[in-house]
Amino acid sequence: MRDDHLITAKQLSREDVDAILDRAAEIDADPAAFADRHADAILGLLFFEPSTRTKMSFETAIKRLGGDAVDMGTVESSSVKKGESLADTARVIEGYADALVLRHPSQGAAKMVGEFVDVPLLNAGDGAGHHPTQTLLDLYTIRENAGLDDLTIGIMGDLKYGRTVHSLAHALTNFDADQHFISPESLKLPRSVRYDLHETGANVREHTELEEILPALDVLYVTRIQRERFPDENEYQAIAGEYGIDLETLEPAKDDLTVMHPLPRVDEIAPEVDDTDYATYFEQAHNGVPVRMALLDQMLEDRQ
């Protein structure tokens, strides 16, 4: 397997992460300097699941580097319907592109495809598995707003199923961060993830109430609690209400608290928060572009 595939954030050292985030900051400071970097590059998009943010920001990223994308389209409009295997689809499309981006509902899909293709592959989410570019844009947003060292971060909501959260928590162990996990008992971090974090020596604590820790936080990362996890609608409503935030909830927070969310949100953050300086979730989504530009730029540069 090529060693420039990006399958999981775990494969990135602190130095790798710093290099990517530094380049993203360079791009943010002077995007015009990168506008013709990869004029002949074509990025192949294989999205086997709906996606707005990730797909559009990859497409924007390659176009802002002067290149272009070719898109497999939805599964319904592709050969997948005729029974083609994922490996075959990827091996065909790699012939059209200089790099591939894959989103797939099955955990492990990116690693498997990585064994077959000869162009660099970027994992854009494989089910309950990994989504490394989300982690990188989260780190970039934290670095730009609160700094990655001497950081106190709270991560709240669905900590059991959220792959975003597990990946971010692991990546933060490379930095000097105190991590606080806030959730109902039923949505706590899985034992394996907690064990993994403790192994690295990370400073990790769990809470059931946001107010216990809110005043100490530099960053509050809120995640979506998925209605479909709850057999009972009332239970969902109660928990969603308790782990959502509004202006009142945020009163005890530091003035310079950074509130993040991977989006889409449903009711976890009240719209009234949007107009405050806390709100960093749209900036976070927009950071997908410079971060993915940085990654693509590095990847396409390396293979020349």
Catalytic residues: 53-54, 82, 103, 131
Name the nearest CA neighbour of 222 among 193, 187, 192, 190. 187
78 scored as a contact of a copy of itself (CB under 8 A): yes
64 scored as a contact of a copy of itself (CB under 8 A): yes
Q: How far apart are CA 154 and CA 180, in angstroms?
A: 5
Please, are residues 121 and 114 in contact by the beta-carbon 8 Å criterion? yes
Residue 68: strand pairing partners: 42
52 scored as a contact of a copy of itself (CB under 8 A): yes
Token output for 110: 């990116």
| Cα-only R_g, the chain | 19
Question: Is 82 annotated for ligand binding?
Answer: yes
In terms of CB distance, is 48 or 175 closer to a copy of itself? 48
Cis, bond preceding 262 (omega within 30 deg of 0)? no
Question: Is 166 annotated for ligand binding?
Answer: no
In terms of CB distance, is 50 or 201 closer to a copy of itself? 50
Name the nearest CA neighbour of 213 among 184, 253, 240, 260. 253
* Dihedral pair phi/psi, residue 228, rounded to 5°: -70, -5
For the bound state, the minimum distance from the C-beta of residue 235 to a copy of itself, rounded and expressed in Å, comes to 18
Number of residues counted as binding a copy of itself (CB under 8 A): 53
190 scored as a contact of a copy of itself (CB under 8 A): no
For the bound state, the minimum distance from the C-beta of residue 198 to a copy of itself, rounded and expressed in Å, comes to 33
Name the nearest CA neighbour of 31 among 303, 304, 286. 286
233 scored as a contact of a copy of itself (CB under 8 A): no
Q: How far apart are CA 122 and CA 102, in angstroms?
A: 6
Q: How far apart are CA 94 and CA 124, in angstroms?
A: 16
20-49 binders of a copy of itself (CB under 8 A): 32, 35, 39-40, 42, 44, 47
* Single residue of 15, 50, 201, 304 touching a copy of itself by CB under 8 A: 50
Residue type, 259: V
244-303 binders of a copy of itself (CB under 8 A): 263-266, 271, 282-283, 285-286, 288-289
* Dihedral pair phi/psi, residue 288, rounded to 5°: -55, -30
Q: How far apart are CA 220 and CA 192, in angstroms?
A: 23
Question: Is 53 annotated for ligand binding?
Answer: yes
For the bound state, the minimum distance from the C-beta of residue 280 to a copy of itself, rounded and expressed in Å, comes to 12
In terms of CB distance, is 15 or 275 closer to a copy of itself? 275
Question: Is 292 annotated for ligand binding?
Answer: no
Question: Is 264 annotated for ligand binding?
Answer: yes
| Residue ranges binding a copy of itself (CB under 8 A) | 32, 35, 39-40, 42, 44, 47, 50-53, 55-57, 59-60, 63-64, 68, 70-74, 76-84, 87-89, 91-93, 95-97, 263-266, 271, 282-283, 285-286, 288-289
